Amino acid sequence: MNKTLDVPERKLPAASEVLLEVKDVKKYFPITKGLLNRTVGQVKAVDGVNLSIRQGETFGLVGESGCGKSTFGRVLLRLQSATGGEVLFNGKDIHSLGSREMRKLREEMQIIFQDPFGSLNPRFLVKDIIGEPLRIHRKMSAKETDARVVELMELVGLDASRRNRYPHEFSGGQRQRIGIARAIALNPKFIVADEAVSALDVSVQSQVINLLMKLQKELGLTFLFIAHGLNVVRHISDRVGVMYLGKLVEVAETEELFAAPLHPYTAALLSAIPKPSPRRKQERIMLEGDVPSPANPPSGCRFHTRCPFVQDTCRQTEPLLKEAVPGRQVACHFPLLPKS
């Protein structure tokens, strides 16, 4: 167990119903040039992702900066349009819903951001920040809103008597709790936590992770938990997806992924986590070169320019995400199969 994060181990929920099904989702941003804004290329931020997120699970999404994690999260919530593909939430394609249906669905899907200060309006009192969705969506009276704000603040471990204060009067961890209280105000089913603990100190990180795990259990939430590094997602995630240049390269149950990564990129990310014992020799896989541009991804396997095991096929043919070992999906021509 990683010593840096003090959180209890979790039990996998049974592989039950699928809450969210993502089919070949793409999001391209045009690159424009000149006075006429001519489109000269496209940033392929998300480029064909297939994934099912189960009811009640936490799915961890990791990958280097710029690989498309936040864009993917936003497309899942329709905070951004998709260039292609489908996002089925409880069987309904959310990108083809009318505005009325979408407004209803918005209550069920929420997001928590990385920067708890930037995402909270500094001119609003905490009670108004948490209470705003209740007034807008539920048309609650001032009295009803106040009672619910008190309840929510207590649920996330904040002193409700401080609700008449401004966000800057709270610490970073407390501000993240305010963001969480706001996100759960309307009893959502699905929450995207985009780097929700990345800006916090390690000790505060584990408190917030513990809070999210507690809320998940009590409220039956489903999470997409986005982070750069594997060590943060380990303790909270049931399954983990590893993203590279707009694509998923590996999906596995958390402990299996940590025990034996199948994709060389996952192995490299894992080897970058410091081991708790200095006596255990660390074999770090150093990745050569920079992350290529998502506007011009490499041919064949996108990872081939940095892969220590590259072969000719990798430069020519794109590997698809498929089951290499039962229950384990990997997009690699030569996965690091466990020795039997």
Site residues for ligand ATP per CB under 6 A = 29, 43, 45, 63, 65-71, 228, 294
Q: Which does 292 bind (CB under 5 to 8 A by kind): Mg ion, ligand ATP, none?
A: none
Pick between residue 72 and residue 170 the one whose CB is nearest to ligand ATP: 72
Pick between residue 51 and residue 193 the one whose CB is nearest to Mg ion: 193
Nearest to 109, CA basis, from 120, 118, 121, 97: 97
Pick between residue 64 and residue 107 the one whose CB is nearest to ligand ATP: 64
Q: Which does 131 bind (CB under 5 to 8 A by kind): ligand ATP, Mg ion, none?
A: none
Minimum distance, C-beta of residue 17 to ligand ATP, in the bound complex (Å): 28
Minimum distance, C-beta of residue 67 to ligand ATP, in the bound complex (Å): 4
Contact residues: Mg ion, CB under 5 A: 70
Minimum distance, C-beta of residue 208 to ligand ATP, in the bound complex (Å): 18
Longest dimension (CA), the chain: 68
Pick between residue 118 and residue 327 the one whose CB is nearest to ligand ATP: 118
Q: Which does 99 bind (CB under 5 to 8 A by kind): Mg ion, ligand ATP, none?
A: none
Instruction: State phi, psi for 83 to the nearest 5 degrees.
Output: -80, -30
Q: Which does 117 bind (CB under 5 to 8 A by kind): Mg ion, ligand ATP, none?
A: none
Pick between residue 110 and residue 145 the one whose CB is nearest to Mg ion: 110
Q: Which does 297 bind (CB under 5 to 8 A by kind): ligand ATP, Mg ion, none?
A: none
Minimum distance, C-beta of residue 246 to Mg ion, in the bound complex (Å): 13
Q: Which does 248 bind (CB under 5 to 8 A by kind): ligand ATP, Mg ion, none?
A: none
Nearest to 118, CA basis, from 172, 157, 79: 172
Minimum distance, C-beta of residue 179 to Mg ion, in the bound complex (Å): 16
Pick between residue 155 and residue 269 the one whose CB is nearest to ligand ATP: 269
Q: Tokens in use for 145?
A: 């809103």
Q: Which does 45 bind (CB under 5 to 8 A by kind): ligand ATP, Mg ion, none?
A: ligand ATP
Minimum distance, C-beta of residue 12 to ligand ATP, in the bound complex (Å): 26
Pick between residue 68 and residue 179 the one whose CB is nearest to ligand ATP: 68
Minimum distance, C-beta of residue 22 to Mg ion, in the bound complex (Å): 17
